[in-house]
A and B are shown apart, each in its own frame.
Chain A
Amino acid sequence: MHIPDGYLSPQTYAPLYGVSFIFWWIALKKMKKELSSRHVPYLAMAAAFSFLIQMFNIPIPGGTTGHAVGAGIIAVLLGPWTAVVAVSVVLIIQALVFGDGGITAIGANCFNMAVVMPFVSYWVFRIVKGGANKKMRLSVAAFFSGYAGLTASAVSTAIQLGIQPVIAHAPDGQPLYAPYPLSIALPVMAIEHLLLFGIVEGVITVLLLRYFMKHEPGLVPAVLGSGK
């Protein structure tokens, strides 16, 4: 899901840099308001976790690979704005140091994986959980939080790739950047995440939520409380 350089036209990647920049700016303000120093070690670990989980490429036999991002569980435990910062740092280092994702596409990749994903995950969790705090209900909420968050992120990526042939082509109609239209990009990205990668993300989100509820319940009052 890391869009490389050359896949997005400037009229796509430039505005997405702008959007991500706005989210980074607000996120830092929100963190200042909502977090205290006891959260800091967990923020660092959240980023490390997201970096590592993305290294586990999951194969579709004979096909492509994909991976979880970890932004869902970070959003549920530490809040969506914290996830924006932690996952963005990961994506920027991946692009600069490891060539994973393009330099021009940093804004787009951060928007997809560090903005769309944590917010979708967070809200899906809140909505599915509702007022209930039973273990089963929380687990179901956590699963769909990771599942929907990653899939939404993939759909957002597919839309950016899929509109390229329409908005940037040579006079003879040949695409200048990402070559596949929405009618291909969207179903491919959506289906592989709905059927496999999203499920992995969902399971990871459940397991980690359960771990933290058991061992560090003080960290997650928002999760355990009524959440209103």
Chain B
Amino acid sequence: MTKTQKKLWIGLVIMALLSPLGIILPAIFNAGGAWGEWSAEQLEKLLGFVPEGLRKDSDLWKAPVQDYNLGGEAAPDGVQLVSYIISGAVGIIVVALIVYLISKMVVKDEK
């Protein structure tokens, strides 16, 4: 690994450690979720009804770590923040590994 690559990885680890800012800042500024990503319950409040197809499909998949939160929706803030960092760390290891393997398979040796 070159010196720059090492530095870049350190940068990525720092980003993972700082990632809880991504839930703390929205909470401070009283901002909700992203537009168009409401849960069925939130939509019911917004519209007064849940669209039929949306109700059927919205629970199609049970993600192992829903919303980057290991403790589930009711988890205390501390658990949520730590989960977020762990999710970031696990996430970058998994995606880096997959992309590494794909490109190793696809890309030729040094030209």
Q: Residues of A at under 8 Å CB distance from B?
A: 1-7, 9, 28, 31-32, 35-53, 55-67, 85-86, 89-90, 93-100, 102-104, 157-158, 161, 168, 170, 174-180, 185, 188-189, 192, 215-216
Contacts and interface: CB of A to CB of B under 8 A. Distances in A.
B99 A99 contact: no
B110 A37 contact: yes
- Chain B interface bracket (under 10, 10 to 19, 20 to 34, 35 or more): 35 or more
A168 B104 CA distance: 43
A55 B66 contact: no
Given A36-B107, A40-B107, A52-B92, A6 B35 contact: no
Contact of A98 (B12, B22, B67): B67
A40 B100 contact: yes
Interface string B19-42: 101110110111111111100100
A65 B56 contact: no
Contacts of B95: 47-48, 50-51, 86, 89-90, 93
Interface of B: 1, 4-5, 7-9, 12, 15-16, 18-19, 21-23, 25-26, 28-37, 40, 43, 47, 49, 51-68, 84, 87-88, 90-100, 102-104, 106-111
A58 B8 CA distance: 23
Q: Do most interface residues of chain B lie in helix, strand or loop, or is the interface mixed?
A: helix
Contact of A174 (B19, B21, B51): B51
**Centre residue among B51, B66, B109 by max chain A CB count within 10 A:** B51
B34 A2 contact: yes
A176 B94 contact: no
Contact of A64 (B34, B40, B67): B34
Given A2-B34, A62-B30, A65-B31, 8 more contacts: A4-B58, A32-B108, A36-B108, A41-B100, A53-B15, A64-B32, A95-B61, A97-B90
